[in-house]
Every structure is written in C-alpha cells, then in structure tokens.
Amino acid sequence: MQSELLKIRSYFFSQLSHLDNHRLLLADIGELLAVKGTIILSPEGINISIAGTKANTEQMFEACKAIPSLEKLVPKKSFLAENPYEKLKVKIKDEIIRMNQPEINPEKKRAPSISSKTLSKWLTQGYDDDGLQIRILDTRNDFEIKMGSFDSSIDWNLKKFSDFPQIFEKKKSEIPNCRIITVCTGGIRCEKATLYMNENGVANAVQLEGGILDYLDSTDGKGWNGKCFTFDNKTHQDQDYMPNF
C-alpha cells in the first residue's frame, strides 16, 4: 500500500539576500529528498508549496526555514493520496506575489489581520468589535470566486492579482464606510492588497490571516458557499502567484 504523502505550504515576507546561493542549495536538497512542488525566492520573502513523503517534505521545509530571517516560517500541512506536482521548481522572482507596486513592502511592515475565529464571530454578529458593519473583499481571480466564495462578498472580477491596484483606483469611491476584510486562498494576496488599501485611504481594511483555507479548516465555515479552488492540479498555471495562496 502506497504511503500517504505530506503537502506543506507556507509563505513569509522578509528581506532576503544571496538568492542564487539559496536557490542552488534548495534545488540540490530537493533533488536528494525527491520532493516536488514550487519554491519561490524573492527579495521580499519566500513562497512554498511542496509535497512528498512526510519525513522528506518536513526536511525540505526545515531547509527553507534555515535561510537567515526565515526562522518564523510556519508550515501548513495536509495529507494527500498522490503528489499533484510533477517536479520541484526553485525560482527567483522580483516578488513572491506580483503586484508591481514597489512602495508596498510587507517584508518591512505587515498588514493588519484578524483570525478565522474572529471573522466567524463577526459574521455571526454582523459587525466588528468596534460596532462597524463588515464587508468581505475577495482578492482572488474571478474564476476562483465563481467556484466558491463568502456570502455577499465584493468581487472585482480580477483576471490576475497584479490588476488589483488599477481596479482599486476605479472602485475606491464605491467602497463602503465599514470594516473591510480582504480574503484570498492562503493569505498572500490579501496581505499585499490590505497594505495597498491602507496606504491609499482605506484605513479600515484588514486581512484574513491564513486565508480561506485556514478559515475552512478552523471554523464551521459560516458564510462560505462552494469550493475553495487551489492550483495544485497540473493543468492550471498562473504567472502572478504560487499555488494555494
């Protein structure tokens, strides 16, 4: 009987240097451990989605965590019947999630956030802890939202995440005066989106820490309908961001 496989996904915004050296080392370790998936290194941090045997995947994650300034990297683990990835890719990119806004630096300043349990509570009562009405802004691509979303969430029909700043400028006047909670699959897109909104006049925006996947794992899923799409399968590619975030 085939052993169950472990998938680890994680991201962390932090200033990284010596990227070529880290890439070569991680590629060598990954080949030795026969782990598959994608690791993106960038001056602003790391984005990981890998799978393999439990012991080997955990060792690969520890190799990533050993990079200076990534000591606080936290794994999000799940088990699989088969590996969804064909090979290991270790890439260097300008951003771990492309936004084309160099003034947004989450590696220097983290976005304000709320936990999944807090969002569940707010959805039940209809307002935040300050009495503000809440609205959810979904920062995922339009086809992802069609597969599943929170009730009455704001959908700007994004084709790719890097369009967010331009769409925001067009829609900014339509944003209600309330607590805006940005969501995405695993947290990486909504973190940058929240910072962008905070820096551009929407002070009440916060992100959902851990994204939709954490919300579905740690709550009863109140307010959510449908499926949460991930890019684990081998037929979907997206140039702007890594699978699962």
Of the residues 64, 184, 190, 228, only one is catalytic, namely 184
Rg (CA), the chain: 18
- Residue 225, amino acid: N
Measured in degrees and rounded to the nearest 5, phi and psi for residue 173 equal -70, -15
Looking at the DSSP assignment, which residues form a beta bridge with residue 113?
A: 207
**What's CA 146's distance to the chain center, in Å?**
18
In the 8-state DSSP scheme, what is residue 163?
A: G
Segments in the chain forming alpha helices (H)? 19-33, 54-65, 116-125, 142-147, 164-171, 188-199, 211-218
Helix, strand or coil for residue 211?
Answer: helix
In the 8-state DSSP scheme, what is residue 132?
A: -
Nearest alpha carbon to residue 180 among 167, 169, 195, 166: 195
- Residues 90 and 37: their CA atoms lie apart, in Å, by 9
| Catalytic site includes residue 184 | yes
Active site (catalytic) residues? 184
